[in-house]
Structure formats: C-alpha cells, structure tokens
Structure 1
Amino acid sequence: MASAASSPEPSPDDAPVADDPPRKIIHVDMDAFYASVEQRDDPSLRGKPVAVGGSRERGVVAAASYEARVFGVRSAMASATARRKCPELVFVKPRFEVYSEVSRQIRAIFADYTDAIEPLSLDEAYLDVSGVASARDVAEAIRQRIKAETKLTASAGVSYNKFIAKLASDQNKPDGLCVIPPHRGAAFVQTLPVKRFHGVGPRTAEKMTRLGIETGADLAAQNLPFLEAHFGSFASYLYWASRGRDDRPVRANRIRKSVGAERTFFEDKHKEAELVEALGPVLDALMERVERSGAAGRTVTLKVKFSDFRQITRARSFAAAVGSRDAIGEAGVGLLRALLPMPLGVRLLGLSISALAGEDEADGVEQLGLEL
C-alpha cells in the first residue's frame, strides 16, 4: 500500500461539522426499476432476463433485470454486447411516461413521512427523517408501502449522513434494508472497496489501485496532502468520506440547471436533410420535458456525437429566456447547419436548454436528459 506523506493532518476545525444529535438519513433505491416495471406489467417477462433499451446494433441497455445481471448484463452496456453475454435476453422498449408516473406514486409515499426529500433520479432519493424516533421503522414502512401500492420492491439504507446511507442501500439488494449507526460508520466504510465510493469511477479506481489503495481502510491511511497530490480537489471528499464523515444536507427542491433530450441512431447520418429530419424527434422529446417542467432558458445547446465517438457541443444564448418550440427548434437547426458539412457520420444528436429562468447558484443539479 502507498505510504502517506509526512505532513500534518487537518485540524478538527477543518472537519465537516458533526451533528448533535446525528441526523437520520434514508436513501431509497428502487430495485432494477425500469426492468421491474416491465416485468410487473407483462407477466410473461417474469423470471426472464430482461433489458430495457434498443435491441439493434446501436442500442444501449437502459436497465437490466436481476435475471439478466447474473449474465453480466448492466445498464449503459451496448445491446450487442449484452446479447452476446445473454443470448436469451429479452429487449423491451422503454416507457418513460410509465416510469415517471410510478416515480410520482413513490414520491407521494415519501411525502407522508417527511418534507425533506431530495430526488436523485426517477428511482432513488434521500430523505431526512431526523425528527422521528426510529428511522429504521420509517424506512421499513416506506418499503412495505411501495411494495403494496406499486407491486415493486425497493432497498433502503439508513444512516447519519448521505454518503453512508447511499452505500447502505446497496448492501442488501434487492428488497433489503441496511442500517449503519454512527458508532459503526467509519468501520463500515473502511471495509468496502473504494470503487463503491460515490464519485469513484473506473479510472479513479484504477489510479487508486496503482497507488495501493483498494479499500476504505487503505484510503483512510493516507493523509490529506498525499491525496491532494494525486486527486486534487477531490481529495477532501475522499479524506473525510473514508472516515465516515459527510456534512451535506438533504436538499429539497434541488435546482434544475438544464433540460435536455438526445437520440442515438441505428445508422450514421451524413446529409443535411436527414440530420435536420433526425433532429425533429429529439426536439419533440425535449419539448415534452420543457412543458412538463415549465422550464425556459437563455441558452440552447446542440450536442453531436460522431461515428468515432468524438463529441462536440455548440450553443446559442439569448438575451431573454426562451421556451417555445419554434425558438428552440430554430436555434437547434441553425447550430446544426453551421457545422455542415460534417467531418464524419453522426451517431447521436442532442438538444438542451440551460441558464433556466429563475435558477440561482445553488449546488444541486438535476439533469433531465435521457437517451431515447
């Protein structure tokens, strides 16, 4: 294992502020949400390996049932790869309107227990229930209500901060509950592989392995200057997380910074006419989300991904927020035409609006862009 540099540790004054008494945080995460909804609604899919997403060559798995995961099928995997891993895999077209409706049902259940709800996506959220006698009992009541009212299962993690609650929700999946009290927090974190830490992706995990850091305990053995030398601004988060510390509050009404939609094509697009035509369904999907959220923004951004997976964006900003289909569509087509002729075939187009009307500089970010 890498040895820590001989530099002074941060003083107690630098640490995240400890809560007295500790907060009670629940992280609820639906089990294989999209795939479970499909299996619920179509009994013929139950017990079978199911992938929600496109089945063609350019398709991507949006979600996989637990039966599919046994074969190594995972979300964001290319559909062709998923089919090689599991030849019996059943592909189902996504129904985001159904998933959104079920998500609203689940959030209504949350609201019966607390107003402090921070959604992370359609299928997971943090809840602060610090005022209750038993957070465990609340988490179990929520899980049982979700099962009774939606016929779906959820896993939950209960702890004194968001970082550990999220880790705990994954501990006993599916349909599980895990409670980590304050006196067990640091020890629990230090038994885990660092690749399970929120924010530690494959590249960071590989870098840590090269440094001899594979577990939370290995990470906790490093001092802050050592971590800063290797991980920059991410170091402080890693230092305190490995010690079971996280002072982030549960933020209700997180600030939405952008609304977007994108589409991957089964075949590359080259010509102006087919590219402009292909932008139409992307604009349709974006406008559904704009209308649903009531959003308007000053910046329209076009995203283009080429056949070699290189990606570029181009943006146009307005003096005032725009939210109409005509204005957003005109800006998107104008940005697209300015890039012609394309150097390579185009495999994906995306459109989004940002600098939303009424947004402030709060930290919360909710991205609504979903690949079609």
Structure 2
Amino acid sequence: MKDVKEAQIGDTLFLQTEAPVEPLPGFKPAKPMVFAGMFPVDQSEYSGLRSAIERLTLNDSSVTVQKDSSLALGAGWRLGFLGLLHMEVFNQRLEQEHDANVIITAPTVPYKALLSSAKLIKEHGSEEITIVNPAQFPDRSQVSQYLEPVVVGTILAPDDYTGKILSLCASRRGEQRSLLYIDDHRVMMKYTFPLNEIVVDFYDLLKSMSSGYASFDYENAGYEAADLIKMEILLNGRTVEELTTIVHRDRAYTTGKSMCERLKDSIPRQMFEIAVQAAVGSKVIARETIKAYRKNVLAKCYGGDITRKMKLLKRQAEGKKKMRRIGNVDVPKDAFISVLKRKDK
C-alpha cells in the first residue's frame, strides 16, 4: 500500500507467505447519502484547501472525495457525507482547525437513471447510471425511468404533537407504514420518505414543532421510481450552476417559488435590477425581482421646466439598463444552503 486511503476500516490483513485467512464478517463500507460541491473562495487557496481536506479525511474515512469543476467557482471537489449534520461538522472543522474559507453548494442525494439512449449506454458502459451532480442530469428523452433513494424513518414523540407531525410528514411525500402507542403518552410512527425530502431541514422542523421532544431515525430502503425533473435558478437570465437541483415534478413550483423568495432575501441589492427565476427546461415557473437602489438625481434640480427633470430621469433609466446588461451579481456563500430550507406551517 502506497497510500493510507487504500486501507479501509474492516479490512483483514495477513502475511503473503502464509495461507489466506477468512475475512472477519460484518464490516460494510460507509455509504455516502448526501453530496455537495466544495470550492475555495479564491482559487489561489486551492492547494491549501486540498491538504486540509486530506488531513481531515485521514480520521474520517466515511467522507468520499472526487475532483469537480465549475464554470462559476473554478476547481474544487464533490464530497459525499453520511448526512447533513456530518457535512456541517466537516465544514466547521475546516474553518476552525485549518482556517479554510470555502463555498459549499446546495446538498443533493444520489439519484439513478435507467438509460434508453444507445449512445449514452455505450458511453457509460451500463444501462443504469448514478447521478450525484445535478448538472449531469440526463434529459427525459434519453431515459426510460428515474429512480430516487428512499428511507424508512421512525419517529418517537409525545401524542400531543401527533397532528403537527402527521401534516409535516404528508408535506414531505411520506407514506405511513404504522402508528403505534408504545405507552399512554408516546407514539411511534414509521414512514417511507424520499431521502431528498428529509435531508436538509426535516429534523430541525420536527424538533421545533415538538418542543424538542420528538426523535427521528432512518435507514436506507433502496430506490423507487419517481417523476423527477431538473430545476435551474437564473439570475438576470444566467444559470447559476451551483443552485441547480433535482426535484419531483409535483413539487417543482412550490420549491422554485420558495428558492426564489429566499434568494431575494439573501442577495444584496445592486445599482441595477436583478431578476431571480426558477426554470424547468425553457419554461420559467417562478420569479422574484430584487429592486435596484435609486439615486435621487433630482436633488439639485430646483424649479424650472418639467422637461429638465424628465431628461435626468430618462438618462438615469438608460444607465441602469446598461448596468443590468454588464453587471455581475454576487451570491453570498451561505445562500447555497439557506435557499433550500423551507418553512412548513
């Protein structure tokens, strides 16, 4: 072994000169369930961030790392984590222990697609592919079926909060398996959830609506067929690749509307108007507008003919059109995760 990463937890080692031994049973490699892109804020920090990630993965072998690149953010990595909390802890350790300043893109889960295009099947060498990056989501015309990961979730909570929890689970496309009273005051509920519906903020909402009493645990339950589409976020007509997400068709409008509203709150105002749009293919399904700052160009224009004021306002409007055409929109790094968090009543 020339690299410490080649030694996996659970491996059985023996001397080559001796007879092979039976491997110890029970060990399985950790399966990453949440994927996110990680990029340095400044590309000059790439090598430093690479060594920091290598050091952290030495004592956290459950994190998978593969190189990635983005037109907007440059070179980086796509990391796989066991869950969202795991991802946040890893990010905090990078910042606190290694002073790394990073941008983490919106977290996604691994989807699968059954290909129908002979060209793609030949290219990938298989009829089934796994999609961890939404930008690589294949078109519907090339796919016979999309598959999404599902989990079996177990919720324990006082019976006073049952109604709120049932409505939360229904809003996340959960299918109820059982509901049992384990004593006079506590209820155990079992649900089948799509993983992408619970991975971002489900646990936070469950805790807040149950005053912290509810507990939640889930286990992997394989993949199920689903009607999935790729939704893109556009700022002034330009696609933001890092905010591209894969959503269920029935949830496209509500998710797109929510993301646009949160981006409107996250992106600072500019001297030009910013159009925030959610689009599926060439169809825009939601839009919010970030209003421009307005300078009072009439401040020194006392009295006189109205045409003087109209001339100044017209010149200002023409200048703003030009700014909108050439202006660049800065997206804060915390917006990539905050835009995915939904408010469920």
TM-score bracket for the superposition, by shorter chain length = under 0.3
Identify, as 1 or 2, the structure richer in strand.
2
Q: Which has the larger radius of gyration?
A: 2
